[in-house]
Structure 1
Amino acid sequence: MWAHFTMQVSFCRLRTHQWCFLLFNAILFHALLFGADFVEEYLLQSSPATYTDAKVLELRERARKLDMETMKENISMHYAIKCPDICVTSDVFLLSMVFSNPANGTRRAQIRQTWANLTDVKGLLVLTLFVLGTSDSNDIQANVIVESHQHKDIIQGKFNDSDGNLILKMKLMLEWVVTFCPFARFIIKSDEDMFVNYKSLVEYLLGLKRHPDDLYIGRVIHQEMPDRNAQSKDFIPLSQYSEKYYPDYCSGAAFVISQDVARKIFVAFTETNLAVPYAMFIGICAKKAGVVPTHSSRFSGEKHIRYNRCCYSFMFTSAQMQLEELPTIWNEAREGKACSLLETYSGLVSCKALTYLDRFSFFSTGKINEK
């Protein structure tokens, strides 16, 4: 007890330069954790300079007048499974389109039982669908058809499901949205290895101060350079894309667009022929349509965020989720226990610090399950 008292007295008697040293280290610690997010959030936002371009204005007008009714019959040939009536009688606030591989039926089942099981937030409808290509395996394809009949939540295109066909998959998604679900106010595209927090995302969208048109929000990638290494599988020759940088774009792992942006990017998609990675392709089409991406650090991008209940209640997404993680996270989220401002702050510090340390293999911090 005397030792504890002595320690308190010594701490109180720290000299000015010692207090400054402690304060500097505290500031440095927070700068390392949150500095990059701050810079991205406030200093790297693009400006909508393309709105005055005549070609942009003409494309936006064509998107506004887009009439998919006359095209419904013609585009049916693009789909193996299309679920055309699922949005007809629904006032969908958030339409969630999850990119999935046909073989991953177990993961889709886990998603349905966890974060996609939430269909109502503040009285607003959230609808989750899975977007697939086809499989070379007859058995897998037969299982997908059975799964579709059971759950009625699968959209499947007539192309092989592969990384090389992600642009086709994105075009199929946009085409389906503007044709069969044109009144969904917002659309989130995510990958099947994600955890998506519908509650915090819907609350954020409801609180937008700006008009919801032209919304394209996610973790923005700024000034990404095309891969000019001829030996790389992602090599982009100058003849294919000559600019020094790609336009700013949202990480393809997860992003949100408004219904009007789905229409604008879809029109741009039909007029753009570039062999670039699909997330960059979306950014190029968005620029053609005069749509500027908005950055939010609450999207994880392709990073896996180490679990903390209050951190996850604030974040919109986390990537690279293991199947065994989802039930625990969902059960705690479903309990709805609110986090105080201090708990949210400490949770963000905890999960960001551990996520940062995960970059280094010699820091094996293991899994956490903090309450």
Structure 2
Amino acid sequence: MVKMRRQLFVLIFVVFTMSCIFLITSIFSTYGNRIFKPRDFMIQLPQTRPLPITKESVNLTDGVHTYYLNLSRFQEEIPFLQDYQCSLTLTPSGRFQDRPSLLILAIKSHPASGARRTALRQTWATEREVKGFWVKPIFLMAQDANPRRMELVKLESREFGDILQWDFTESHHNLSLKERCFLEWLHHHLPQVEFIFKGDDDEYVNPYAVVQYIKHHGSSPFILHGNLQRHSAVMRQYKYRVSENLYPHPVYPYFLSGGGFLFPGRSVKLLYEESQRIPVFPLDDVYFGFLGLAANLTYRHDSRFHVSGLAFKACRYQRALVVHGINPEQMVKIHNEAQNALCK
């Protein structure tokens, strides 16, 4: 009799335990995802989003000329430049975001220009400290139709961590997208950047001279620095042609030659906001000039931005900020001689 009671008690206990397990399992399956999702126990950080693109026709004046950019004509002739949403495929790596005095060397490059990037990394485009500034080179790139080149770019990115690439295709007009999308990236990812140098991958740059220049002339957040082009005539033929339908004016506003210029980090927000508003012009340096005009920024010209080449003399290159038009074979020799020259 006692044995039967024990067996009955065990049976009841087993049934009760199984019922409890079944009940708990049912509760979890019904409400578990709602109650126990890990994200509900995490602090939700605010996500920084790009400003909505609200482009419009604009009238801009520099006190001498008035420039009307008609959005409907830009959308008719170059719709992709107006509609493109910046989408990254590769981003630079490293802890440079934490550096308090950060100088970005932003270098426009093409996936096919691997030899140029190699020469630059062997010379002036290396991440380092220069006279109190942390210098970080970043190559600005888009896409190429050659899949082998794209794979090599990925390998470069993994090895050097210095490539910022978007998913649009490389072309002359699309260089303006590098301007707009780079401003967007700076605004959202490097709000603390002190100065930005913009240039090309076929030039010699002297980071020591650039830092010294910033210390002497870089106190204002509203001044852009470079080789100033004053009311350049609009070309209607050849590589830099712009149609009268798109832009009927005979001259451009002031702009800095795209071969190499400097702008302060505190101007980025103003430039970025205007890039979301005014039409994207199909010439990148002129486009940046329109952004500067719309943002009410001013310019400082300096002849040491040699955007059309310079005959080589070591001491002249040592004092130069940038010299445009240097091929990869010359770069290492020129850099070494200029760095080692004893100049007064």
Partner of 1:79: 88
1:156 correspondence with 2:162: no
Contact 2:116 2:327 in 1 (8 A): no
What is the Cα deviation at residue 170 of structure 1?
Answer: 1.1
Consecutive unaligned residues of structure 2, counting only runs of 5 or more, are 1-45, 53-83
Partner of 1:212: 220
Is this contact kept in 1: 2:176–2:281, CA < 8 A? no
Give the Cα separation in 2 of the matches to 1:232 and 1:331: 37
Query: Equivalent residues in 2 for 1:110-149 (5 A)?
Result: 110-117=119-126, 119-149=128-158
**Aligned equivalents of 2:195 and 2:120: distance in 1?**
20
Contact 1:240–1:275 (CA under 8 A) maintained in structure 2: no
Residue matched to 2:343: 339
Q: Within 5 A, what are the aligned runs for 1:1-371?
A: 69-71=47-49, 78-83=87-92, 86-117=95-126, 119-208=128-217, 211-227=219-235, 229=236, 232=238, 234-301=240-307, 303-335=308-340, 337-340=341-344
Q: 2 CA distance for matches of 1:77 and 1:250?
A: 24
Question: Structure 1: which amino acid aligns with 2:49?
Answer: M
What secondary structure, in the 3-state scheme, does the structure 2 residue paired with 1:146 have? Answer: helix
The amino acid of 2:141's aligned partner reads L
CA contact (8 A) 1:69 1:179 kept: no
Shift of 1:144: 0.6
- Distance in structure 2 (CA, Å) of the matches to 1:118 and 1:312: 21
Distance in 1, Cα, partners of 2:232 & 2:256: 11
Instruction: Report if aligned partners of 2:127, 2:137 keep a CA contact under 8 Å in 1.
Output: no
May I ask how many residue pairs the two structures share in their alignment? 268
Deviation at 1:77, TM superposition (A): 6.7
The structure with the largest helix share of the pair is: 1
Check whether the contact 2:86–2:181 (CA below 8 A) recurs between aligned residues. Answer: no
Query: Secondary structure of 1:96's match?
Result: strand
Cα separation, partners in 2 of 1:317 and 1:177, compared to 1, 3 Å: same
2:231–2:251 Cα contact (<8 Å) kept: yes
SS in 2 for 1:207: helix
1:275 Cα deviation from its structure 2 partner: 3.8
TM-superposed CA distance for 1:279, in Å, is 0.8
Deviation at 1:117, TM superposition (A): 3.0
Percent same amino acid among aligned pairs? Answer: 25
What is aligned with 1:27?
none
Conserved? CA contact 1:218–1:299, under 8 Å = yes
Kindly tell me: are residues 171 and 103 of structure 1, through their superposed partners in 2, closer, same or farther at Cα, counting changes over 3 Å? same
Are the equivalent residues in 2 in contact too, given 1:102–1:140 (CA < 8 A)? yes
Q: Which runs of 5+ in 1 are unaligned?
A: 1-67, 341-371
Cα distance in 2, alignment partners of residues 115 and 238 from structure 1: 41
Structure 1 contact 226–245 (Cα < 8 Å) conserved: yes
Contact 2:96 2:102 in 1 (8 A): no
Give the Å deviation of 1:216: 0.7
TM-score, structure 1 length as denominator?
0.67
Q: Which has the larger radius of gyration?
A: 2
What TM-score comes out, normalization by structure 2 length?
A: 0.72
Aligned-pair CA distance for 1:295: 0.7
